[in-house]
Structure 1
């Protein structure tokens, strides 16, 4: 095998082509098989051009070539709808010993009569580090004559009939997905083309959603954070390349060289190699300030090099947002400084009067309430306090807003930095700098500065989605076609709904293939199948003695202390800030787990392990493994 020093095009004997990522190891094709390893050799992919006539035969042929005698049991098997030029797609995930933290799967893809199979085997940590590069390689795979959908060169159609059809679909999809409430707005640079509300703000109180209903917007906040940075760059208070330690002198990561090298740009580019460590603020957040949260980063290190691959870090964006705020507001707590700077330089100039960083916004009469799914995938109201996790990382995902306010932001993007009166709010240069690709996600998708860029369908789009515990959002704009869309929901994890609405908007606007309904139906059905298979592993007859052995307090570095306790006939996993009832869960490999059963944590699992005669709870997040050890006493 040879290690690649640049992105490398590969042509297979069949004429199929793909691109291999720099730093990966590549073995030339042999007997229809190409072998790739990620840089540290902890994750392998074999791409096999098979001679089989069906999926089962193709997967079996691939394993015979790669690993004769392969006999792992199947954990999940899923056939997906045709997509991205492929006539058939399917995925098989295999059972591996839980303690190995290993992923083994087969992806089968058919183009015409030809089946290609990608076999993947490696550690969860390596998949976490290199998942974007692996995905980019797979997405780049093309076969001779493959016909991929493209909207390039097509005119956009957003007349009244099209907008009515889109709004009707939003309601249809909302009902199908069980989403409590949705608000949507479509704008051009000068007009509001559509503004509507669907469903209710809360399943408990049933007030209707309107365009002025406030929702948490999660990571859509990141685009506002980098807009703030752009306005401060205009004022000479900072530059995109200002070292973070100059803005926050006490800031440090666990790697001195990275600390020294990180600039403002790096905090919001998803390109520094810092891994996602959200569990640290999800598990422990009550009373945490921004200052305390940033101080924990002194123990965090990058797992890939600068610019090597896309790794998304909320903590890095929070750092950048607070650093920018400190440049604008030299005194006071960082969270207050950020809120004041955002209000002064972004929200007030745009008339975004309903947008705020205050969690207490959720107590207002005009606010939607968070919802999450139970083990039947039915949405239930959840306590607002669950959303407190984002308070100490506010610039990365803590804003509340409305579709009306975000429509005003979209119009600023479409006007290249000017407000409705033509006044410059932010310079075109600094506004557009945010849209420049900083790191590749896939062949036609990149991450800029707090903005995703996507030309996968031949039409350049920009924007950012968002998720919190009980809300899901989407924001997208098409500058070449003078249109933007914002969708806000009060449902956690509603990504399939968000994707379907996004797709429907584009397919109606550009006369694309009608597949939004199909994709949503498949995603919802597959989610139910997968959850049912998980619920089937719950041991409803677990004896009381099994739970009794778990009662006690536990602690792990990074995520703090938890308690397992009895509450009447229920056993509770109590993280302090939140809690859930638990059940016993038996892994497919025979391992023992606990599964949380109350929303919003329903389906969350921790593996049981022996710790010198005491139980310990293992929370495997891929690149981080947290071991909750029993506290004596």
Structure 2
């Protein structure tokens, strides 16, 4: 799972590209800085300007060498003058980035675009810490949101592989890891606690693993704002997409049992499986359901607006209408519904004749959670919410942390193998112990054959030169060691599980607020610093991320009008409908404007766009940023909602 589609999507996509670091260094800029060009992009080199264009023709990334500049803003101005002299976009926001990989004084410049442009524009200025310290490099990005989402991996590889001439990368290869002593555990806990305080995260569940055993598991903070109950080792959180690695383990058990083969056509194993493209349907094998490599796009809005009570079979109904947007195996594209299908096909093979949703729930419990001693882990929302559980929180319009609703989080239930699991620090750590134990339980009992456990780690598609995606698992070797992981994101819940197979160490984190997403990457970095005496970067990363989050929220509030002016309310019809996403009712009450969809609702604010159009933006805690653009040129009142690669039209009901 990931962030909800909406106005911030273009910025979230770009942030994701900048979040990882990659290694191979194949080419050099005119100043001698090394980089890996983005795969399949056409290159054009002209002195200090190197321009790379995507095969689609609507995305360009450019690197510009500068001998000197007064500061980051001057460097960006010089770069645009060299690469595109007529560039005249309005600067939206400039934010710093931490010093990293030999670059200092890093600044990111985001530019205003209107939703109907479906465009992302950004500049990144970096000053080299090597040589005379005066040289700057500027990266320029202009890309359609569709191509940016499709080709995020090669673009991210290019951005992150760019390193100053003479820079030596940090490596932990061959180092002996320090033990996670009580003192080091307290250091890690204090790091998380300080971040929680600054971010306003009510509660966090944590576990630390060292030497193949849990050395600490418990909680920090409270389960829910305004209530005193603390988070403890048994508090349940939604772990969202961490479910994917668990689903691939169920597939492995089905392969072990001889019920499926990794290379078996999915449609052969389960005839109801089909995609809109018959040829792609024929190509999809069991392993491809969970590889993010088939070219199927991230098409989440259908289930986000769907009925949580719908049967599991609706996952296959939705897939039957979907088409790939890239070639098979070409690029990393994350598809929740494909993983949902994978879990249900495994369940159908293991429990033929049983409704696939029930078969999945029963198989996960009997074949994985039960044997692993994950006593509280469940897909039963009712059971989870009645007990020791965390509650989701999001950002209110004023920037404060507020209790959020669960309605959107329920919409993943029909596709639950992709992201509906509830788990606790104690249970989550037992899953990581199984991964470290190569498919055996923490007590050493066989669970998954080592061969099929290992199959899940094999590279299926490139995410970056040091990062691959296997079957529901990311494998990262950027520091010369193996770090396996997966994260999870739903409304108000953000989590991660991380383990170092060569060192029998790891960490899990579960958070109950949207701001908690910023704790995950810095915590992983902090763990590596503690284990290997790594360069001290985690504290700055977290500090800068917190400051940038506030700057972004402050800027968004400046751009929105609340309450929505009366004239912008009057232009709306009373009811709309989308053939794909269902009904929308407009509610005006006490001067506030609410959009009421079939299964959830939110107050909205007004955004006036650069091109003169107007948008209505959801602002309820956890739901902020879903943007519907009013199409004043349509024959009937129409609101347009987009994700990166799709468009949905809500038209006024007759």
- Report the TM-score, using the length of structure 2 for normalisation: 0.92
Between stretches 471-480 and 200-209, larger displacement belongs to 200-209
Aligned residue among 114, 126, 138 for 2:147: 126
Correspondence for 1:18: 35
Q: Distance in 1 between matches of 2:315 and 2:569?
A: 34
Contact 1:204 1:381 (8 Å CA) reproduced: no
Correspondence for 1:508: 530
Q: Distance in 1 between matches of 2:563 and 2:365?
A: 55
Correspondence for 2:10: none
Aligned length: 625
- Correspondences of 1:558-573 after superposition (within 5 Å): 558-573=580-595
Contact 1:17 1:141 (8 Å CA) reproduced: yes
Correspondence for 2:176: 155
Correspondence for 2:73: 56
Contact 1:611 1:629 (8 Å CA) reproduced: no
Correspondence for 2:634: 612
Contact 1:51 1:58 (8 Å CA) reproduced: no
Correspondence for 1:4: none
Correspondence for 1:485: 507
Distance 1:276 1:612, change over 3 A: closer
Correspondence for 1:3: none
Q: Distance in 1 between matches of 2:592 and 2:640?
A: 21
Contact 1:52 1:61 (8 Å CA) reproduced: no
The alpha carbon displacement at 1:60 in A equals 2.0
The alpha carbon displacement at 1:302 in A equals 0.8
Distance 1:201 1:626, change over 3 A: same
Correspondence for 1:495: 517
Correspondence for 1:418: 440
Correspondence for 1:181: 203
The alpha carbon displacement at 1:244 in A equals 1.0
Aligned residue among 207, 231, 244 for 2:253: 231
Task: Describe the superposition over 1:302-321 as per-residue Cα deviations: whole angstroms up to 9, x where unpaired.
Answer: 11112211111111111111
The alpha carbon displacement at 1:541 in A equals 6.5
Correspondence for 1:90: 107
Correspondence for 1:448: 470
Report which structure shows greater RCO (CA 8 Å, sep ≥6).
2
1:267 is paired with a residue whose SS is helix
Task: Describe the superposition over 1:312-366 as per-residue Cα deviations: whole angstroms up to 9, x where unpaired.
Answer: 1111111111111111111222211111111121111111121111121332221
Correspondence for 1:37: 53
- Correspondences of 1:202-351 after superposition (within 5 Å): 202-351=224-373
Q: Distance in 1 between matches of 2:264 and 2:564?
A: 57
Q: Distance in 1 between matches of 2:628 and 2:188?
A: 42
The alpha carbon displacement at 1:171 in A equals 1.7
Contact 1:75 1:588 (8 Å CA) reproduced: no
Q: Distance in 2 between matches of 1:226 and 1:178?
A: 34
Correspondence for 1:548: 570
Distance 1:85 1:558, change over 3 A: farther
Contact 2:196 2:516 (8 Å CA) reproduced: no
Q: Distance in 2 between matches of 1:361 and 1:170?
A: 29
Aligned residue among 138, 142, 145 for 2:159: 138
Distance 1:527 1:370, change over 3 A: same
Distance 1:277 1:332, change over 3 A: same
Aligned residue among 557, 561, 569 for 1:539: 561
Contact 2:630 2:638 (8 Å CA) reproduced: yes
Q: Distance in 2 between matches of 1:60 and 1:348?
A: 60
Correspondence for 1:472: 494
RMSD (CA atoms): 1.8
Correspondence for 1:459: 481
Task: Describe the superposition over 1:232-288 as per-residue Cα deviations: whole angstroms up to 9, x where unpaired.
Answer: 111111111121112220221111111111011111111111111111111222432
The alpha carbon displacement at 1:505 in A equals 1.7
Contact 1:240 1:265 (8 Å CA) reproduced: yes
The alpha carbon displacement at 1:8 in A equals 9.8
Between stretches 44-53 and 441-450, larger displacement belongs to 44-53
Contact 2:38 2:52 (8 Å CA) reproduced: no
Correspondence for 1:363: 385
Contact 1:555 1:628 (8 Å CA) reproduced: yes
Task: Describe the superposition over 1:69-115 as per-residue Cα deviations: whole angstroms up to 9, x where unpaired.
Answer: 32221112122111233223221122234322122221212213321
Flag structure 1 segments of 5+ consecutive residues without an equivalent.
1-6
Distance 1:420 1:621, change over 3 A: closer
Correspondence for 2:613: 591
Correspondence for 1:196: 218
Correspondence for 2:135: 114
Task: Describe the superposition over 1:142-178 as per-residue Cα deviations: whole angstroms up to 9, x where unpaired.
Answer: 2321133332232211222111211222222221221
Q: Distance in 2 between matches of 1:523 and 1:568?
A: 37
Q: Distance in 1 between matches of 2:635 and 2:568?
A: 14
- Report the TM-score, using the length of structure 1 for normalisation: 0.95
Q: Distance in 2 between matches of 1:104 and 1:602?
A: 22
Correspondence for 1:429: 451
Between stretches 611-620 and 198-207, larger displacement belongs to 611-620
Between stretches 543-552 and 365-374, larger displacement belongs to 543-552
Between stretches 312-321 and 595-604, larger displacement belongs to 595-604
